[in-house]
Amino acid sequence: MCQLDWAKKKLQLETPVEVDTGEELCGVICVHPEGEVVCCGFGAAFRLFVIHENKMVLVGEQLSDEAEETPSVNSVCFSPKGDNIVAGGEDGKVRVWKLQNLKGAVAGARAS
């Protein structure tokens, strides 16, 4: 993560936060408006991670909602309030998921 200091006109880098995804490639990524949750797109799924102690803790995964087709996730974005995730796929469809109990997942990740 980084932060732009407008007064100093300087980019301040924090300690990097890393997650091992094995052989899977994260194609798209977005950060929750509050800054502690990250959504990453992996092929036909996206995963939610909580940033805790410079690590990313997996708190949820959503696969394509169509069992037979698995369109690749090309873009993901949180809504401005952070209560929805919007994903666009290679099939040309936009899907919206309501985030249930995100605060509980964040609290659980911090406790572990």
Q: What is the pLDDT along the chain (112 residues), one digit of tens a residue?
A: 556 677 777 766 666 677 777 788 888 889 888 888 888 888 888 888 888 777 788 888 776 555 556 678 889 999 999 888 888 888 888 888 888 766 666 676 666 6
What sign does the CA torsion over 31, 39, 102, 79 have? positive
Question: Chain centroid to CA 10: how far?
Answer: 26
pTM of the entire predicted model: 0.71
**Helix (H) and strand (E) counts for the chain?**
1, 9
The structure tokens listed for 95 are: 């899907």
* Residue 74 to residue 91: CA distance in whole angstroms: 10
Going by C-alpha positions, the residue among 82, 75, 70 that lies closest to residue 32 is: 82
